Structure 1
Amino acid sequence: MLNKQSPLPMYYQIEEDIRQRIAKQEFFPGEAIPSERSLTETYDVSRMTVRQAVNNLVQEGLLYREKGKGTFIAETKMEQPLTGLTSFTEDMKRRGLKPGNNLLSFDVKEAGSKLAAKLQIEAGERVFEVKRVRLADEVPMALETTFIPYALMPGLTQAHIQQSFYAYVESELGLTIGRAEQAIEASLADEAEADALAIPLHAALLGIERLTFTTDNTPFELVQSAYRADRYKFLAEIKRN
């Protein structure tokens, strides 16, 4: 199956063959690939060569390991462009997936100084704090905490949160969503995040903080999200000035 006369390294040829087999649906997400010993026999190479190929595919996110069980085909990651301002619900519907929420808490609290500064309100003013797990086709995708100035939308209820919040803001409140400031950083899942997202402890996460404004530059939500890094990747187009 491999061309040993090719200038391409053996491990790279194995990677490409596994990629093609996944593309041809010889392997499916969640299915175990053959053992290192089996792959060594199949490709007629050393175990070290097979291990390098598999390690590269694990680092790429195409495969994942479970200790004591083996190596498996990873789910295809959702590609989220960092252009355009859409809600989670809008994004999932656009992908043809069923959006959902597991509401963990819906509280009104006093804003601390850091939160108040970001929302451009006074420290001690009331804010809604909403914690929920965001779902796509019933699969947990992100753990999300949202802070909303109470004075801006005092009529907000759990029912509004369970639907598309952006639709409520624009259709019922008559506000126009303008822009957002967003920061992304890597993190590892703690016990609460791992439990909420049904992932292993210390699994990789993409931490995102987004502050969203109306067209008159009024902040109306601060969202802190922990996205599963095994299911999401973010894309950006960068142009040279």
Structure 2
Amino acid sequence: MIDKHSPLPLYYQLEERIKKSIISEELQPGDVLPSERELSENYQISRMTVRQAITNLVNKGYLYREKGKGTFVSSQKFEQNLQGLTSFTEDMKARNLVPGSKLLHFEISPAIEEIKEWLSLEEEELIYKIKRLRLANDEPIAVETSYLPVKLIPGLTPDILGNSLYKYIEDDLQLSIGHAAQTVEAAIVRDEDIKHLNVNKNVPVLLIQRETYLEDGTPLEIVKSSYRADRYKFKINIERK
């Protein structure tokens, strides 16, 4: 029950109680939450307090609302540890999830000036521009656009992209991937990605840019991705030095 004598706010107590039920899987993804009126009566608290708790859980991705239908339990977020350089395929398999990919665009073309500078290319050198929809257990997670120098990966085809690109680069081309620099920022989903990610207009996404280098420092790729913020989160372990 809610402890009205506790120094913890009532909405926070209810929020934590519902969250615990979700984490323990007492409440399953897709389950409908009791109405505000029912929760208010069950816990003897105001509907405004209930509404605040639910709104907080919606904002944190534990719940979602459907107009005219109610409030439902969300699927839990996929978590990626930011320590260690892995491909999307490797990362999903490490979590016992089935990775998937849908090729949206594949072309060989000259690079725009920005990409040319990042990849340290000469004027006449070509790049692969590859746009893919990334899936986990058949659920859309991210739209990913990669730029790679043709001279480093000659003969790359859409068929090869059906598996891990990093594995192909390392096993078949015998190139050693060294390190990457990655940035993450919040943004609103672009109109062109709405249908691919199966989200509504104006929802938040995580924009991730990764610049990957071979062991000798040669730029290998630039990847720009839009991840569903309601389905993906990043984790990093930090040690005090």
- Listed as ranges, the matches of 1:144-223 within 5 Å are 144-223=144-223
For these two proteins, the number of residue pairs brought into alignment is 241
Deviations 1:189-220 (A, max 9, x none): 12221101111112111000101011000111
Bigger shift: 63-72 or 126-135? 63-72
1-structure distance, mates of 2:212, 2:166: 11
Letter in 1 for 2:23: A
2-structure distance, mates of 1:87, 1:25: 29
Partner of 2:85: 85
Partner of 1:19: 19
Letter in 2 for 1:173: L
> Do the aligned residues in 2 keep the contact of 1:133 with 1:143 (CA within 8 Å)?
yes
2-structure distance, mates of 1:217, 1:223: 17
Q: Return structure 1 stretches of 4+ with deviation > 3 angstroms.
A: 238-241
Instruction: Give unmatched runs, 5+ long, in structure 1.
Output: none
Partner of 2:233: 233
Instruction: Give unmatched runs, 5+ long, in structure 2.
Output: none
Q: SS at 1:158's partner residue?
A: coil
> Do the aligned residues in 2 keep the contact of 1:112 with 1:124 (CA within 8 Å)?
no
2-structure distance, mates of 1:114, 1:191: 23
Q: SS at 1:192's partner residue?
A: helix
Bigger shift: 15-24 or 43-52? 15-24
2-structure distance, mates of 1:208, 1:198: 19
Deviations 1:97-146 (A, max 9, x none): 11111111110111011100001112442100111101111111110111
2-structure distance, mates of 1:216, 1:158: 27
% identical equivalent positions = 49
State the superposition RMSD in angstroms.
1.4
Q: TM-score, normalised by structure 2?
A: 0.95
2-structure distance, mates of 1:102, 1:222: 19
Q: SS at 1:97's partner residue?
A: coil
Deviations 1:7-33 (A, max 9, x none): 322212211221222234332112221
2-structure distance, mates of 1:90, 1:210: 16
- Listed as ranges, the matches of 1:116-155 within 5 Å are 116-155=116-155
- Listed as ranges, the matches of 1:13-92 within 5 Å are 13-92=13-92
CA drift of 1:47 comes to 0.8
2-structure distance, mates of 1:238, 1:23: 24
